[in-house]
């Protein structure tokens, strides 16, 4: 277990550094969008391209991984929406479901699972990321508009437009194409991509901390009792129910004869055990949901995952999740 903490500690330490820098005013809150732009439009796409280009195309097209991950994600979304819709309405229920089902795959999962599982994690990570960006996010955004009249279709179009403008799916697609064609860019371009990809992990983790600090500042003024009542159930679902459900769905898929490998199952369970995706806070703010609640869930899952995630890794150690 201590070896697992040695692997995970630097990742969460960088998040804590970003959080402290923003909360103490060392990094102005106005600078956070610039960090986000660098990560989302430059560094992370290069990392995902490199992941896709170095992964065999068959692993990127693994339908059994997509089916297992997608089934689990939709179950989480459905359960959270059904449990909370009547109390808080469609908008907040939908974004509560999204923050419970969408792990921070891009910023944390890609580098962290790469450090723990090595290259075997690339295929499941990329498949899960694409599914959540395209299906899970679009579904929850459409559900969030059901409080209004004729809003779901418009919201779904906005979500699909956002996907088309998001460089991450395109970088994955280009990487997969490069993998299929066995193409490697010329030396200077390849080194430029590698430099940006190497910068993605530390800058992304630091940026998560700054985004969480900004969210915590936005959430000030809420009554603590209300915050606990609204936040803790979703935190528990994200960090405990989601990975347990994922291992159950994966084992059912394997028992049914689907060609889901043990290493892929381990990667999916570890993805499910990650904290909530930080970009859900921006989506909630954009669509008028309770962003303070969403920001608290993201913050609390990130803090708690420092302790819970290594436990899940240790639990799966006999199944082949030994750190590299």
What pLDDT sits at residue 157?
72
Using DSSP's 3-state secondary structure scheme, residue 169 falls into helix
Token readout for 275 is 């904290």
Residues forming a β-bridge with 103: 276
Integer Cα distance of 252 and 249 in angstroms: 5
Q: What does the mean pLDDT of the chain come to?
A: 85
Using DSSP's 3-state secondary structure scheme, residue 62 falls into coil
Question: Rounded to 5 degrees, what are φ and ψ at 276?
Answer: -65, 150
> Following DSSP, what letter does each residue of 186-229 receive, concatenated?
-HHHHHHHHHHHHHHHHHHHHHHHHHHHHHHHHTTTS-HHHHHH
What pLDDT sits at residue 191?
94
Token readout for 4 is 């697992």
Question: In 3D, which of 2, 7, 20, 6 has the Cα closest to residue 206?
Answer: 20
Question: Rounded to 5 degrees, what are φ and ψ at 103?
Answer: -80, 165
Instruction: Tell me the CATH number for domain 2-319.
Output: 1.20.1530.20
What pLDDT sits at residue 321?
43
What pLDDT sits at residue 323?
43
Integer Cα distance of 139 and 133 in angstroms: 10
Integer Cα distance of 208 and 36 in angstroms: 9
Q: Is 127 left (phi over 0), alpha (psi -120 to 50) or beta?
A: alpha
Per-residue pLDDT 10s for the chain (324 aa) are 667 788 888 889 999 999 999 988 899 988 988 888 898 889 989 988 988 888 888 888 899 999 999 999 999 999 999 988 777 888 899 999 999 999 999 888 888 898 888 877 888 999 999 899 889 988 888 888 787 655 566 666 766 776 677 788 889 889 889 988 888 889 899 999 999 999 988 998 898 888 888 877 766 655 454 556 778 889 999 999 999 999 999 999 999 999 898 999 999 999 999 999 988 887 887 788 887 788 889 989 999 999 999 999 988 864 444 444
Domain extent listing, the chain: 2-319
């Amino acid at each position: 277990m201590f070896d697992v903490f040695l692997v995970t500690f630097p990742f969460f330490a960088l998040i804590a550094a970003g959080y402290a820098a923003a909360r103490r005013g060392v990094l102005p809150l106005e600078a956070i969008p610039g960090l986000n732009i660098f990560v989302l439009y430059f560094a992370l796409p290069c990392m995902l391209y490199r992941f896709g280009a170095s992964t065999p195309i068959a692993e990127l097209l693994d339908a059994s991984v997509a089916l297992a991950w997608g089934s689990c994600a939709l179950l989480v979304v459905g359960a959270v929406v059904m449990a909370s819709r009547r109390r808080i309405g469609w908008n907040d229920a939908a974004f509560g479901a999204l923050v419970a089902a969408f792990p921070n795959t891009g910023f944390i999962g890609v580098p962290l699972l790469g450090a723990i599982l090595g290259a075997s994690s690339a295929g499941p990570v990329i498949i899960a990321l694409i599914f959540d960006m395209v299906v899970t996010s679009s579904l929850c955004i459409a559900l969030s508009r059901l409080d209004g009249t004729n809003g779901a279709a418009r919201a779904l179009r906005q979500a699909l437009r956002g996907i088309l403008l998001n460089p991450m799916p395109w970088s994955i697609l280009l990487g997969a194409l490069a993998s299929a064609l066995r193409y490697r860019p010329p030396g200077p371009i390849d080194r430029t991509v590698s430099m940006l990809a190497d910068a993605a992990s530390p800058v992304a983790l630091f940026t998560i901390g700054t985004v969480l600090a900004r969210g915590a500042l936005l959430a000030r003024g809420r009554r603590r009792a209300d915050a606990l009542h609204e936040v803790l159930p979703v935190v528990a679902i994200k960090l405990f129910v989601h990975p347990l459900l994922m291992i159950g769905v994966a084992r059912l898929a394997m028992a049914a004869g689907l060609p889901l490998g043990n290493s892929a199952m381990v990667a999916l369970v570890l993805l499910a055990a990650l904290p909530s995706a930080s970009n859900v806070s921006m989506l909630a703010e954009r669509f008028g949901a309770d962003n303070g609640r969403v920001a608290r869930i993201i913050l609390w899952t990130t803090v708690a995952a420092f302790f819970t995630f290594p436990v899940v890794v240790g639990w799966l150690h006999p199944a082949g999740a030994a750190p590299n």
